[in-house]
Amino acid sequence: MKSNLMYLVPPVSRDRIISEFPKWYTPEACLQFKENFHAQVRTVCQRSTETAGLKISKVVVVGDLYVGKTSLINRWDTAGQEKFKCIASAYYRGAEVIITVFDLADIQTLDHTKQWLEDVLRENEPDSSLIFLVGTKKDLVSDAVCERTELDAIRFAKEMRAEYWSVSAKTGENVRAFFSRVAALTFEQSMIKELEKTAGHVAQIGAGNLIKLEKSMTEIPEGKTQASLSCC
């Protein structure tokens, strides 16, 4: 009995279900403008009769000291300290998402984001990672200052081929929307890669059960399926 329980997947709380494709922060710096998940991804998830496990992706968060990385994601980071240089390569390698962070109240930290990104990209295959540029501490600057800084940030984002967001970890502004966006784009990209590798056979989402694919399901054109996808 105990061994069977080990394979049960706990239900996902409703506040963690993404039923609609999250909107971008600003169209001036957006990775893609689509309104829904890729048709093939929707079809695979909707036709599955079994519970699928979570798809785990590696997210790397980099930026200058005290720009708010820890407050934003509450995760370990190298904080730019020299004593972590020896493990930076292992930390960066295999990143499916790269989040470069700067302080909206300190324009110099924006100038440093390109170098941070270059350091991470050096350890990864070209075009293998989704890139985001995030301005933090939005609550500390006026709307006028934020607007001026964002003009430069959007220019940087275009050069970095990144999607730009501004957030406030203190007030929570845009934080949930940003991570929903990251989760949706990452999940979709991972599933599409799985579908390309296993067309006509079996695709696996994370460590959960297998989703069996019919050959016809890998040939559905974009926009054919209308229902929305729910993923966590």
- In angstroms, the Cα distances linking 26 to 23, 133, 211 are 9, 12, 35
- In eight-state DSSP terms, residue 21 is P
User: Residue 18 — very low, low, confident or very high, per pLDDT cuts 50/70/90?
Assistant: confident
Model confidence band, residue 10 (pLDDT cutoffs 50, 70, 90) = low
Counting residues of the chain whose pLDDT is more than 70, the rounded percentage is: 68
User: 134-177 pLDDT, tens per residue?
Assistant: 999 999 999 999 999 999 999 999 999 999 999 999 999 999 99
- Nearest partner of 44 among 183, 192, 181, 186, judged by Cα: 192
SS3 content of the chain, % helix, strand, coil (to 5): 40, 15, 45
pLDDT at 215 over 70: no
Contact predicate 93/64, CB 8 Å:
no
Domains of the chain: 59-180 (3.40.50.300)
CB hemisphere CA count around 73 (13 angstroms): 19
Q: Is the pLDDT of residue 83 over 60?
A: no
